[in-house]
Amino acid sequence: MIKRVLLVILTLLLLLAPSHINAQSDISISNPACHSERSEESHSAQDKLSEAPFAMLRTTSGDPSLWLRVTTEQADSGIVVLNSSVEVHFPVALIFNLEAESDVDIVSARLHYQVDKMNYAQVITEGWADFAPASRIETSWVWDMRKSSLPPGAAVVYWWTIKDAIGNEVETSPSVIYFDDNRYHWRNLTEGDITLFLYEEDDSFAWELMMACQQGLARLTRDIGTYPERPIQIYVYASAGDLQGAMIFPQEWTGGVAFTEFGIIAIGISPDKVDWGKAALAHELTHLVVHQATFSPYGRLPTWLDEGLAMYSQGELDPSFRAQLDKAISEDRLISVRSLCSPFSSQPEKAYLSYAESYTLVEYLLDNYGGNKMLNLLTLFKQGNTYDEALTKVYGFDVDGLDALWRKTLKNPVVQAGAVWLHPALIAVLSALATSLALAGALALEEWTWHRSCSKLS
């Protein structure tokens, strides 16, 4: 009980800290209006696990462009929609069913749908139901997730346009369907922008994970000034195996993945690995928030910055990473910053070193130049500046200049103690080392999942 009270107090402190810092920030990527909404939400945050129906707790983007007002012209068309429903077959398909009748033959039924996610433009996709013209039809359109998949919990708005043989047309009102993983009985825990969905019964486990998320988010806001662009939903499966069962291509998954544009993270955490889970959650949460803040069609972040920010938000660098860094410094075989702009090596030792260097690069920039400049740097990447251009505009040095300055700070490395934490992708590497399995691609997985999450759904 005392532990619960302390967690609540700590949560409130963490939620108050970011709003104070935001008030001082002169650069903001997020919409200011969203900040005030967030602060109101934080005061009314749920403080207990809830089992309310999903429909009651959904946190969709609220983007008015998504929730289209479609005029229903059913009254005079002579076409009557008898039934419109959706079957969720997670994770493989959504099946949109339609029954309709008219005085004359119905000749076409088009499904229109729109996915609730960040997008560069409003995208409405169409699917044509297959049936023989008849005065009464019963048909369906199948969204095969093997072709373009959705993460658990994704929201889809849909409506039908139905035509008959003499040109009458009816358009149904839009409805929302959630692509829920209904193989489990999910409970939820909400604090501010974050909702955790779990089916594990242990409340203290849920709270520990939530606190790790709030701490990661608070640190990100305090140090850099980035905020989630939209509410974040985190689906915590009770094991990596359960998570893989949620995927169509499970071999392509590690322990978790962030779907940036959806604001959704899916991760497998068993209660006996809560320390790993807390770190992995905060890490993925950082990727998600940073990717949302820099969401644009113009380019991408250098890998050292992306991974460095995610590791930095975890706190102190783990000793195992620090040891790799110190060894490389003493042997004069540091990887250049320019090389670290590209995806990291799949060789374990180089990968360790890449993550360690990335952490210290971000630490160097934040410690010496502050969070406002980091936010400025992210903004310039979002606007499409090259790595050299963005660094030069903000700091006055390019990638090679950063390399030279940063190396000077590494002359006398100090090994620091810290909580044991391993990067999600490195878990795969370590297990592979232990079992002599092939390592090919293991470290590229997280990179791959980012590409995947950025791919077009329609």
Contact positions toward Zn ion, by CB under 5 A? 307, 310
| Structure tokens that stand for 117 in this block | 């996610």
Query: For residue 343, which phi and psi values (nearest 5 degrees)?
Result: -55, 145
User: Which residue type occupies 189?
Assistant: L
User: Which residue type occupies 245?
Assistant: G
Number of CB atoms found within 10 A of residue 264's CB: 26
Number of CB atoms found within 10 A of residue 219's CB: 19
Q: How far is the CB of 283 from Zn ion (least distance, A)?
A: 6
Q: How far is the CB of 189 from Zn ion (least distance, A)?
A: 24
| 70, 101, 359, 364, 442 from 169: Cα distances, Å | 13, 12, 59, 63, 52
Q: Between residues 199 and 295, which has the closer beta carbon with respect to Zn ion? A: 295
Please state, in angstroms and rounded to a whole number, the distance separating the CA atoms of residues 208 and 188.
14
Q: Between residues 397 and 448, which has the closer beta carbon with respect to Zn ion? A: 448
Q: Between residues 57 and 432, which has the closer beta carbon with respect to Zn ion? A: 432
Q: How far is the CB of 310 from Zn ion (least distance, A)?
A: 4
Q: How far is the CB of 115 from Zn ion (least distance, A)?
A: 25
User: Which residue type occupies 152?
Assistant: P
| 46, 305, 354, 401 from 429: Cα distances, Å | 38, 21, 14, 32
Q: How far is the CB of 7 from Zn ion (least distance, A)?
A: 26
Q: Between residues 311 and 365, which has the closer beta carbon with respect to Zn ion? A: 311
Conformation bin of residue 153: beta by default, left when phi > 0, alpha when psi is -120 to 50? left
Q: How far is the CB of 425 from Zn ion (least distance, A)?
A: 7
| Structure tokens that stand for 413 in this block | 């490395």
Q: Between residues 188 and 303, which has the closer beta carbon with respect to Zn ion? A: 303
Conformation bin of residue 110: beta by default, left when phi > 0, alpha when psi is -120 to 50? beta
Q: How far is the CB of 143 from Zn ion (least distance, A)?
A: 30
Q: Which residue has its beta carbon closest to Zn ion? A: 310
Q: Between residues 140 and 254, which has the closer beta carbon with respect to Zn ion? A: 254
* E-assigned strand segments in 90-216: 93-115, 125-128, 134-144, 154-164, 169-171, 175-179, 187-191, 194-198
Q: Between residues 255 and 371, which has the closer beta carbon with respect to Zn ion? A: 255
